[in-house]
Structure 1
Amino acid sequence: MADYGALREIRARHPERIAEAAAQRRRRPLTGDGQLLIIAADHPARGALGVGSRPLAMGSREDLLDRLVAALARPGVDGLLATPDIVEDLLLLGALDDRIVIGSMNRGGIQGAVFEFDDRFTAFDSDAIARMRLDGGKMLCRIALDEHGTAATLEACARAVSELAARDLIAMVEPFWSHRSGHDLSPEGVIKAINVGQALGATSARTWLKIPVVPEMDRVMRATTLPALLLGGDPGDTPDLAYAAWRNALKLPGVRGLVVGRALLYPPDDDVVTAVDTAAAMLDARPARSPAPGG
């Protein structure tokens, strides 16, 4: 278990060590042989702390970090997607060497807020991502025809895609055709969202998509030529059904791997290692890598 007393002391007395840890982090290529497994941990910044029947499952930062450290130490895990606070904690804990790190950018659309669809960029920006030597930035792009905030979100996402590409960094766009009660997860809804999301910015050369697993994924994946990572989402209390859907979708052309958070960090039996290893075993063959220190 990590020494959180020491972590708090560093944050209070030696905040410069965050930048030092970022500068010293051992990096690895984003692209290579095989599919990727990225662990997502940007839900808390939007007030989305629930997992299944547990409304505050992600409420304890120490517990979340323990689960993240355990997941990132597994040899089948390629990296992390998170907001600055979590990235910085994990840098100080030494958990991000030889891992891809994607910074989450727009977390201003707080879950349930009247301004939810005006999804402001309140976390990483492209300058910070470059300065921290991260590998790219992720943005949520909810498209709601009856929400005025969608226009500002589209414009901000387009700007972020362009700024990241200008720095040779990946822009991971997570598009949804949405409405106040949720996302349209029909094949048609996802196809429409993909077509809007992949056209954002001055170039799509560095754009990857993060898309949900829905029915008729073969038809959905024909909507794009861009690299796509599958969104794991919250499987509730039926992870086996989610795993089966992931296995099938991972076989499709253009699918480069998984981005999964709650399903692996908070499985029903709380066995993070087994959940992560199960997901990693679904990915196509890649050269064996040594476990991270402590893995």
Structure 2
Amino acid sequence: MPHINALLNEATQRLAVISDSAALDAEVLLCLILGKERSYLRTWPDKDLQLEDTARFWTLIQQRLNGMPIAYITGSREFWSRTFNVTPDVLIPRPDTELLIEISLKLIPKDKPVKIIDLGTGSGIIAITLAAERPLAQVSATDLSKAALRVAKLNANKHETTHIQFYQSNWLANMRKEKFNIIVSNPPYIAENDSHLMQGDIRFEPQSALCADDQGLSDIKIIVETAINYLESGGYLLIEHGYDQEHQVQSIFKDFHYDNVQTVTDLSGQPRVTYGQWHYRIETHLSPFKP
């Protein structure tokens, strides 16, 4: 029977052709089979494995060789130090989105019951994290996908944030007219002809949560326009976007007369989140995108 170290070495060699983190991938998948932490693999490198465990391990390795993301194989991904369930019905949480959380938390007071809504919640990572970090906040979340909402509700139960209100809605389209202090969204922002869609994990993720018309800007325009009817005066809209969309997104915010429009860079130095503040004006606002 093969032992742990030999199995990991062979799996790492095979995975190296498709993964930049081949050794980590192999360890994560073996831990999934064994129901152990990674420290166990280092403590018992010479431990022999049962044949059935070995067979199950190679089945998972083959899935990874076929390109299946680790998060979809394991059914989970960490975000903001919490583990979230993920399925192919939702995007895989990424570190870039933690910037959206950081900025939001700076704008949300700890001692006041503000109202927050997360648009296109997917697995619920944004809404759940904000609800957990700001217990006094009244948090809502929308998604057009029923399957995504099922995952989000499961994660809300897992992290004891069951007070979040979930709604099936295309952005704000099905929401009753109420006002929020914070509107936050990580919408689709990749152009449909972008070459990145054919690379890596992204090939397996739901395209509806990734791609948007108008070179990736159509959903951002909808959100920026409709949010002004749902924001309290002085409230903020925050949107995650592509690294090359900073100027276009800022222009969209300014076209709809948001104030204090700013873009923040991620850990890689790439423009990643743009936000602006809405102040109520008496004059009627007409969409610059409509005749």
* Superposition TM-score, scaled by structure 1 size: 0.31
* Superposition TM-score, scaled by structure 2 size: 0.31
Q: Which has the higher contact order (CA 8 A, sep 6+)?
A: 1
Who wins on radius of gyration, i.e. which is larger?
2
In terms of fraction of residues, the more helix-rich structure is 2
